[in-house]
Amino acid sequence: MRRLLLFAAACAATFAAGCATRGKPSRSAPSRSAPSLDRAAFARAVDSMVAQPAFRNAHWGIVIVDPQRGDTLYSRNAGKLFMPASNMKLLTGATALAQLGADFRFRTDFASNGSLVNGSLRGDLVVVGRGDPTMSDAAFGDAMKPLRAAADSLWARGVREIAGAVVKGGDAFPDSTLGFGWAWDDLDYDYSAGVDELFFNEGFARVTVHAARTVGGQATVRTAPARTVPQIGRVAVVTGGMMDPEARQPNSIAWETDIRGARPSLNLSGFVKMRDSSTVTVAIRNPSQAWLEAFAEALADRGIVVRGNVISTPAADTAGLTHLFTLRSPPLRAILPLLEKPSQNQIAEIFYRTLGLEKAGAGTPDSGRRVVERQLAAWGADTAGHAVRDGSGLSRHDYVTPETVVRVLDAMRRHPDFTAFYGALPIAGVDGTIGARMKGTPAQGNVHAKTGTVDKARSLSGYVTTADGRMLLFSFLCNNFTVPNSAVEAVQDAMLVRLASPLGPR
């Protein structure tokens, strides 16, 4: 293992050293007169890295293409299927951009089955969602901001009281909130949160436990971004003194979700040091209920009284309702970076279902899958080169070939909205999931690529520009390894540094 890491690091250092005279990486256009080395040296270096003994059980898929010359610079198992992990988001994001358009906006409609009399809405307030994924801290800095804007709109229309309930209307995403083949052990974690047509803060909440002022006292709990989501059940968190044996260890908060009833609650236990706090991030189990609860909080903060309950069971019939107003999301071109740069699973799942809703008439995963598969076929991908089972890559039933990924990258390179797609990808040494990788090398600020990680799978696919100005397409998929992820990343990074260097392949 140590030999592999040292070897990959040495390769990266050697590639970077060859470019030392270039100084700091520049984001301006590279020189087209920079020298290049013949590809045989590159192929030998890659072959030797992936053939290391520590990778003897691993399955590598690599393809590097120069699309302008129609030339494949390197290929290994390019037509074999691999578990792509979050490289699946390249397929989902590209299809969404191609099918829905960069200016597509999600909408949330507000309506009522009653009339407004002297400030009282004599009926239910019905909220009809279609999956807006931007009511979040990531999009607005505070997930409550768009909900407060909706409350302000009601107030501006003279609403001071809702005599009925706040009700979910319609059922745009009628299937399971979870993806096919997701691991049950992960469902309480934010990256495995379910999705629905009403969706709050990317499906998760922060729960902060504050120690009591005295040893043994009862800790207090606060939730964010909404004060009321999730509902807190049992709190058995001990406040310890600095002399307690546990004080030598970090705060430790465990949680379990009690899923009984329409509104799941969270039970907390553990230890927190006196005058300290600990925060955990938890998945929201009932997305629509959580959205409505947070909205009810925004209504109360605005001074609007709700007499009835919050009901997440879809209203049986939305026909005949009086439309009040509509909230629209930012355009898809602005949402795409929120998906690709941090590798946000739930936005991908919402895109997946929205493709089915908008293009196949049903907001189900099966409909979304058919839209993605049709788009891949239109781009010339081999039908045996992919098995699409969700939008995010969390499913261990997703499979793609490196050739399929490069087909998508090439199709987007030629697409009118390529700038939006390219700009949404993480940038090496700059931002997103590769913001800490390839720093101080010619690849920094150059490589735009999507990562992917699930157990025994590590992926990186995207675009790299050579020193003489050619944009290359690449897909590096690695499965079934037992080395640390960092060992796979070292090889991926070394290849990209070489490609971006003046000594890259001709």
Of 428, 450, 435, give the one whose Cα is nearest residue 497.
428
Is the separation of the CB atoms in 403 and 392 below 8 Å? Answer: no
Q: What is the CA radius of gyration of the chain?
A: 25
**Which is catalytic among the residues 329, 343, 367, 501?**
343
H-only helix segments in 141-205: 144-156
For the sheet containing 457-465, what is the strand order?
Answer: 71-76, 59-66, 471-479, 457-465, 448-454
For the record, the structure tokens of 432 come out as 């997103």
Measured torsion, CA atoms of residues 114, 116, 119, 120, in degrees rounded to the nearest 10: -20
Handedness of CA 419, 424, 429, 430 (dihedral sign): positive
User: In Å, what is the CA distance from 304 to each residue of 125, 151, 152, 307?
Assistant: 12, 8, 10, 10
CA distance 229 to 266: 10
| Catalytic status, residue 265 | no
Strands annotated E in 130-186: 161-162, 166-169
Q: Known catalytic residue: 86?
A: yes
Contact 384, 157 (CB under 8 A): no
CB 147 within 8 A of CB 294: yes
Catalytic position from the list 86, 112, 120, 329: 86
Please give the order of strands across the beta sheet that includes 322-328.
310-315, 166-169, 125-129, 107-112, 322-328
CA distance 491 to 62: 11
Evaluate whether 169 touches 252 at the Cβ level (below 8 Å).
no
How do beta strands 252-258 and 125-129 pair? unpaired
Omega cis (within 30) before 225: yes
Q: Is 61 within 8 Å of 402 (Cβ atoms)?
A: yes
Instruction: Say whether 486 is catalytic.
Output: no
C-alpha distance from residue 460 to each of 90, 197, 457 (Å): 11, 31, 10
Contact 5, 486 (CB under 8 A): yes
Among all residues, which ones are annotated catalytic?
86, 89, 343
